[in-house]
Amino acid sequence: MKKSRKVKVFIIILLVIIICGFSFFGYMFMNGLSGIRINPQYKEGQIKVALVGDSVTYGHSIRNWPKNNYPALLSDLLGEKYCVKSYGVSGSTVQPDGDQPYNITKAYTWSHDFDCDILVFMLGSNDSKPENWKGAEAFKREYLKLLNSYLNTEEPPLVLICTPPTAYFPEGKTTGLTNHDIQPLIVEEIADIIREAATESGYTLIDINNLTENRRELFGKDNVHPNNDGAKAIAECIYKFIPKYSGD
């Protein structure tokens, strides 16, 4: 093969690799699988809303992710007077000895640095995995410890705590695991623990678990992550609990 032909073949192969790479990245990005974070710039005078959570907050598997993840939809609903930032980390756990503890992520640090006025806190689903679940008492202790770490400021934020969405078994199954090793029955137990914590601590409860109960149509094929309709339902539900300040 002549040198010039070898160069042409090399260039063609390189272009194919680049195109495939961009296509793969584009697919991952547009479906909430890339891990890339897009947050608006804070403008002076805006009310700061921090959304702390896992893949549900991040928007795993949401089609046209930049526009349709629940934080983006909530931001649209609230309008320009609010700066809504998402600090969701897929796979993250409340418990520090879980497989992906939230408190060691960059998002945890960033969410503290944001010094929010309103904190929307939705974690727990990944703690239901067999390797992470240490029982109700351990979960509640670590849940409150992580949540309360946001309150050690001169002006603590308004706290809105959310139960995790319902997790569904595949058709024909009623026990054990669903996709991503989530245990649906433990998710229900976790939801009860969070309801109890809200009552005892005086935090406002947003019951996403109740919202998504018996509504499998709000979830994707993995039975765990809300689909676009589910993200919209979550955003609209949380919106109702955000104080509406004068000028809205």
Q: pLDDT tens digits for 42-89? A: 999 999 999 999 999 999 989 999 999 999 999 999 999 999 999 999
Residue 248 falls within a domain, yes or no?
A: no
User: Has residue 175 been placed in a domain?
Assistant: yes
CATH number of the domain residue 85 falls in: 3.40.50.1110
pLDDT beyond 80 at 138? yes
Q: Does 21 map to a domain?
A: no
Instruction: Provide the domain count of the chain.
Output: 1
Give the pLDDT of residue 41.
95
pLDDT tens across 180-197, in order? Answer: 999 999 999 999 999 999
Within a domain: 154: yes
**Per-residue pLDDT for 246 more than 50?**
no
Rounded CA-CA distance 164/193 in Å is: 11
Average pLDDT estimate for 234-238: 98
* Structural domain includes residue 105: yes
| Confidence at 25, pLDDT banded by 50, 70, 90 | low
pTM assigned to the model: 0.90
Q: Give me the pLDDT at residue 28, please.
A: 66
Q: Which regions of the chain does DSSP assign to beta strands (E)?
A: 47-53, 82-88, 118-122, 158-162, 204-206
Range of the domain at 194: 31-239
Asked whether residue 149 is assigned to any structural domain, the reply reads: yes
Contact 98, 127 (CB under 8 A): yes
**For all residues of the chain together, what is the average pLDDT?**
91
- Angle, nearest 10°, between helix axes 136-148 and 184-201? 50
pLDDT of residue 22: 65
